[in-house]
Chain A
Amino acid sequence: MAVVGVGMHPWGKWGRNFVGYGVAAARAALDDAGVDWSDVDFIVGGETVRNGYGGYVAGSTMARALGWNGARVATCYAACASGSAAIEAARTRILAGLCDVALVVGADTTPKGFLAPNAGERWDDPDWLRFRLIGATNPAFFAMYARRRMDLYGAGPADFAMVKVKNARHGRHNPNARYRAEVKAEDVMASPVVSDPLRLLDICATSDGGAAVVLASPAAARRLGQTDVRIRAVSTVTPRFPNTALDLPDIATDSAAVVAPPAIGFRPSIAAAAYEEAGLGPEDLSLAEVYDLSTALELDWYEDIGLCGPGEAEKLLQEGATTIGGRIPVNPSGGLACFGEAVPAQAIAQVCEVTWQLRGQAGPRQVEGAQVGLTINQGLFGHGSCVILSK
């Protein structure tokens, strides 16, 4: 299974329709692959819930926008994990021998401020209820995870700020990133508190953007001369009962009163499933793109993907291991800190970055000699998302 083409529309706050971003990304990915749109036999869209019906049927919206070509179509929604769910749909159809070349597209136009639930009186919708009954925004959940790092492991605001400083430095030269200025730790720690202990510059923005990948069977990849980057694993696992870590957007966890919690929690299980499928481990990684919705959450991911043990992430960061030039650079793209989140595009954008890194095309942010890269995120309502790619 090869990634034969990748493309993005730069992230920003462009205020245009999401379809335009998706078409720009798709055309860039098709050009990169040397594939004619008429030769794509499967298109998958990452759904956006904020852009009306066209967003609900993103796959066919993109197909129509590119000009109907008769391809089979699917649309995937898995919240922040929508992009990898879409990649998995394309990958499995290719593996089944039902398709040679597939295009996966995600794009979004996102309003400023907190992501909000759907409008109306929705007393049976957990995402609506957590706002109505508690006022628990997404940053409130990120903040509770951050607070646990502080109270359990002794992490501090300076550690969180260091993540932002690192990612800002990485993203400075990324032409697709929205924020390309260096940030000082004191700027982070002087920005307003949103949800204690997290400040405005600890939390990722919401952005417009689009990303696309073209996947191909080994035979089609050889025909295209695009065999450099392979998908080794895609993990879209769900939690195992009882899931005892409080997850967005839930008001309560499962109860472990009768059944003991699984040996590893949900987040580490996402990566574990991908490592098992790839026959690789954390020691094999050259780089990782992790979902830094907040600075502190990036530190959680270090542990969840096995770069270090629980409570050791701050040390790994402080040693410079996760900076470009270090042992295992994390978020060489600049991460969500530099992009802001464009939900259905973001997991696809992670795969674009790893592909550029493995090809040696990442310019000033290149991780030297990159051989294996991992992307990870988590979509609310129990969606795992992890992709491992290698040369």
Chain B
Amino acid sequence: MTEPEPVIDRWFTTGPEPALIGRRCTKCGTYQFPPTGEWCPNPACDSMSMEDTELSRRGRVWSYTDAQYQPPAPFVPSTDAFEPFAIAAVELEAEAMVILGQVASGFGVGQLRVGTEVELVVEPIDASGALVWKWRPCSE
């Protein structure tokens, strides 16, 4: 059996301490995610040089919700009978940005509040086994 691969190339690392991969301007230090930028998004910076950087693995919930109806394609449900899942928008302090993701399986809106600390994990996105990043509430 082959190791599961990320569903999208170069957006996050896997392993025991996975992290989202952002881009950072080598001139002014501005961050960007998704990591597709080839130039700095800061309008006051003329840099054409962005480098990959791992983003903070922990952040605080900016807001959250869930999907109780199956989203349309290209969403792929994990199971034949759709099971609701939660979504969180998470604020990373050092990067001063908010990044969306599903909430780790087994957790729902009942475990979340604005401000809840969460940690990045990778889990299968669907039955294919391909991996995606998710946010998991920290235990403490």
Which residues in A have some Cβ–Cβ distance to B below 8 Å?
A: 113-114, 116-117, 119, 121-124, 126, 128-137, 140, 143-145, 147-148, 151-152, 192-198, 241-242, 244, 246, 250-259
A182 vs chain B, min Cβ distance (A): 26
Q: A135-B87, A135-B102 are in contact. Are A145 and B34 (CB under 8 A)?
A: no
Residues of B with C-beta under 8 A to A258: 25, 28-30, 42, 45
In the complex, whether B48 has a CB less than 8 A from a CB of chain A is no
Q: What distance in Å separates the Cβ of B64 from its nearest Cβ neighbour in chain A?
A: 6
Query: What residues of B have a CB within 8 angstroms of the CB of A197 in the complex?
Result: 65
Does the CB pair B100–A130 fall under 8 Å?
yes
Instruction: Annotate B86-106 by CB proximity to A: 1 below 8 A, 0 otherwise.
Output: 010100001111111110000
A116–B72 touching, CB < 8 Å: yes
Which partner residue on chain B sits nearest A126 by CB separation?
B34
Known: A254-B97, A258-B30. A131 touches B74 (CB 8 A): yes
For the complex, count residues of B whose C-beta is within 8 A of A.
48
Which chain B residues (109-124) contact chain A, with CB distance < 8 Å? Answer: 109, 113-115
Q: Of all chain B residues, which has the CB nearest A128?
A: B74
Contact B7 A133 (CB under 8 A): yes
Closest chain A residue to B65, Cβ basis: A143
Indicate whether A195 sits within 8 Å of B73 (C-beta atoms), given known contacts A134-B87, A151-B114, A255-B31.
no
| A131–B71 CB distance below 8 A | yes
Q: Can you report 9 A-B residue pairs in the complex whose CB atoms are below 8 A from each other?
A: A129-B34, A133-B125, A135-B71, A136-B71, A144-B89, A151-B115, A195-B68, A242-B97, A258-B42
Q: Is the CB of B72 within 8 A of A136?
A: no
Decide yes or no: A253 and B67 within 8 Å by CB, A134-B87, A259-B42 being known contacts. Answer: no
**Chain A's interface: helix, strand, loop or mixed, by majority?**
loop
Q: Which residue of B lies closest to A130 (CB)?
A: B100
Instruction: Establish whether residues A133 and B8, one from each chain, have CB atoms under 8 Å apart when the complex forms.
Output: yes
Measured in the bound complex, the distance between the Cα atoms of B28 and A133 in whole Å is 30
Cα–Cα, bound, A83→B122 (Å): 41
**Nearest CB on A from B13, distance (A):** 16
Nearest chain B CB to A203 CB, angstrom units: 10
A114 and B97 contact, CB distance less than 8 A = no
| Residue from the list B30, B68, B132 in contact with A193, Cβ < 8 A | B68
Q: Which A residues are CB-close (under 8 A) to B63?
A: 144-145, 147-148, 151, 246
For B68, the closest partner residue in chain A by CB is A193
Q: Taking A135-B71, A151-B114 as contacts, is the C-beta distance between A255 and B30 under 8 angstroms?
A: yes
Residues of B within 8 Å of A121, CB to CB, are 74
B66 at the interface (CB under 8 A from A): yes
Contacts of A126 in B (CB 8 A): 34
Contact among A124, A136, A242, A254 with B87 in the assembled complex (CB-CB below 8 Å) = A136
Residue of A nearest to B97 (CB): A255
Chain A residue numbers with a CB within 8 Å of B109 are 196
Q: How far is the CA of A5 from the CA of B132 in the complex (A)?
A: 52
Q: Complex Cα distance A241/B96, Å? A: 13
Q: How far is the CB of A122 from chain B (nearest CB, A)?
A: 8
A257 to B93, CA, bound (A): 9
How distant is the Cα of A194 from the Cα of B75 in the complex, in angstroms?
16
Inter-chain contact A255/B96, CB cutoff 8 Å: yes
Q: How many whole Å from B134's CB to the nearest CB in chain A?
A: 9
Distance between Cα atoms of A242 and B64 in the complex (Å): 22
Q: Any chain A CB within 8 A of the CB of B18? A: no
* C-alpha gap A148/B71 in the complex (Å): 22
Asked if residues A254 and B74 are in contact (CB atoms below 8 Å), the reply is no
* Chain B contacts for A129, CB-based, 8 A: 8, 34
Per the bound structure, the CA–CA distance linking A164 and B93 in Å amounts to: 37
Contact assessment for A257 and B95 in the assembled complex, using a CB-CB cutoff below 8 Å: yes
Asked whether A253 and B65 contact (CB < 8 A) given A113-B72, A136-B87, A152-B114, the answer is no
A88 CA to B44 CA, complexed, in Å: 28
CB of B75 within 8 A of CB of A252, answer no
A128 to B133, CA, bound (A): 17
A258, B29: Cα distance in complex, Å: 7
Q: Taking the nearest CB of chain A, how far is it from the CB of B114, in angstroms?
A: 4
Q: Which residue of B lies closest to A117 (CB)?
A: B74
Residue of A nearest to B85 (CB): A135
CA of A137 to CA of B7 in the docked complex: distance in angstroms? 19
**Is A252 in contact with B97, judged by CB distance below 8 angstroms?**
yes
B68 near A194: Cβ-Cβ < 8 Å: yes
State in angstroms the CA–CA spacing of A254 and B31 once bound together.
8
